[in-house]
Amino acid sequence: MRKIFLIILFFLTVNSSFSQVTFIKNLENQNVAQEKYDSLTNTVYFLPYADSLNTYSLWFNFGVAGFRKDTLLTFVSNFKQRFFKPNFPVYTYDHKKYFSVKSLDYGKKLRVQFLPERDTVYFSTGFPYSYSDYENFFNAHSDSENIREKAFLEYSDTLKMPYLTIGDKRYFKRGKKLIWIICRQHAFESVANYVMQGMLEYLFSKECAKKLLRKYTFKIVPMVDIRNVVLGQSGRMGLPVDLNRDWDKTIRPEIKILKNEITKTANYYRYYMFWDIHGTFPGGDIQRNFSYFSLADIDKKRKNIHKYWDCFFDFAKFVPTEISDFQKGYDGLTADWWNHLTFPNLEFSTTLETDWNVNHKFDVYTVEDYYEIGRNMIRALEKYR
């Protein structure tokens, strides 16, 4: 017995440099586990959990406490080859101010270092945006006079997408111009929701009411892939089918319900625009940052998109790097559905990749930059036509 005790004591001593930090996982999208903590080097090793059959990559968002503050704190994790490694993860002490850190490793490993200034630090793939972030934001603005309807599109017993109608008092008038906006078909593109929040903030404001809402009614689904936002899965290439690639045959209830609603409302209003807001993937293809795709591959509609973005440039300093037609060869993308449909009054339908973390000059975007993109996307409509 005494021998066993000594052996245990020996291991405790040997492993004493691997003392524990407290891993804070009471956050949504906590798609990670702690592997170990080395107090000598002040390094937190963590394992990104991913259900490899049902995700293309992941996003994580967790906190740690109990590390040393007298030296650099390091986070290390291995990513499988097929996962996109976040190039510019962020940390925060308060979920208000975020600091971007560049990964020191360019291989499969993620390794970042910074000097911690508080006792608890939160670390995430990029600016995190969870379902409760949306709820908190919405609850703070839900008394806006511009909101005509706040509903939900329910697609399972527990999951439902928020669904907003924004317009002025006469919004039911037949023939009003209708703009449909959906966001976050891919859960790990959390920056898309900052752009969306910027849009909503402007749409809820008094300033907006006078100018814009006499002309337009907005139908908005701010977060489509609620399930994976909560689980911390990417949603991209998800099984049985990626939401964004389910628009042709359509087996996912989320997309069924969206298509129904779009078609129904398009018949009532003068259906004018459709926007699908994405955010590239973490550390993704930076050559394609801030790009927009024409979902309906028709010359006139492409000209309309150019015109719209020219209006946007009048307000904003952000310059989308390219315009492309819908991506051929991706069966079932949102684009395919659009190409099979003809809505007579549709100016254009588009997917926007708002980019993740870096702009065309490789400057790291801030949360405020994303808000500004969203605000100015709405303001651009004041100038358009």
Rounded to whole angstroms, the Cα distance separating 53 from 240 reads 10
Asked if 245 touches Zn ion (CB under 5 A), the answer is: no
**Which window, 175-183, 251-259, 276-284, 338-346, contacts Zn ion (CB under 5 A)?**
276-284
CB-nearer residue toward Zn ion: 88 or 204: 88
For the bound state, the minimum distance from the C-beta of residue 202 to Zn ion, rounded and expressed in Å, comes to 23
What minimum distance in Å lies between the beta carbon of 252 and Zn ion?
Answer: 15
> Which one of 54-62, 141-149, 178-186, 222-230 is the stretch in contact with Zn ion (CB under 5 A)?
178-186
CB neighbourhood size of 351 (10 A): 24
Q: Give min distance, CB of 172 to Zn ion, in A.
A: 33
> At CA 327, angle to CA 382 and CA 262, rounded to 5?
50
Please report how close the Cβ of residue 335 comes to Zn ion at its closest, in angstroms. 12
Region from 90-98, 100-108, 210-218, 278-286 binding Zn ion, contact rule CB under 5 A: 278-286
Nearest partner of 230 among 191, 189, 187, judged by Cα: 187
Q: Which tokens in the block code for residue 327?
A: 């991506």
Q: Are 356 and 277 in contact (CB under 8 A)?
A: no
Q: Which two tokens stand for residue 37?
A: 């903590």
CA distance 217 to 171: 6
Shorter beta-carbon distance to Zn ion: residue 165 or 233: 233
Comparing C-alpha atoms, which of 292, 295, 274, 288 is closest to residue 356?
288
> Of residues 352-381, which lie at the interface with Zn ion (CB under 5 A)?
none
Count residues binding Zn ion (CB under 5 A): 3
Site track 131-170 with Zn ion (rule: CB under 5 A), x = hit: ----------------------------------------
H helix runs in 20-147, sequence order: 131-141
Alpha carbon of 101 to those of 60, 114, 192, 230, 357: distances in Å? Answer: 15, 8, 20, 24, 11
Query: Least distance from C-beta 189 to Zn ion, angstroms?
Result: 5
Nearer to Zn ion, 213 or 352 (CB): 352
Tokens 């087996």 belong to which residue? 251
Applying the rule CB under 5 A, the residues between 300 and 329 that interact with Zn ion are none
CA distance 5 to 48: 35
Q: Map the footprint of Zn ion across residues 85-104, applying CB under 5 A.
A: none
Q: Residue 167 Cβ, how far from Zn ion at the closest point, in Å?
A: 28
Tell me whether residue 116 or residue 238 sits nearer to Zn ion (CB atom). Answer: 238
Q: How far is the CB of 40 from Zn ion (least distance, A)?
A: 41
The pair of structure tokens assigned to 280 is 């590239």
**Closest to 181 measured CA to CA, from 272, 252, 257:** 272
Closest separation between CB of residue 63 and Zn ion, Å? 27
Q: Which stretch binds Zn ion (CB under 5 A): 26-34, 186-194, 199-207, 329-337?
A: 186-194
Alpha-carbon radius of gyration of the chain:
23
Q: Amino acid identity, residue 342?
A: T
In the bound state with Zn ion, the residue whose beta carbon lies nearer, of 116 and 235, is: 235
Residue 186 binds Zn ion, judged by CB under 5 A:
yes
3-class DSSP state for residue 45?
Answer: strand
Strand, coil or helix: 98 = strand
Task: By CB under 5 A, name the one of 176, 219, 278, 379 that touches Zn ion.
Answer: 278
The distance from CA 253 to its chain's CA centroid, rounded to whole angstroms, is: 20
Of 6-14, 181-189, 212-220, 253-261, the segment contacting Zn ion by CB under 5 A is: 181-189
CB of 254 to Zn ion, least distance (A): 14
Chain residues in the site for Zn ion (CB under 5 A): 186, 189, 278
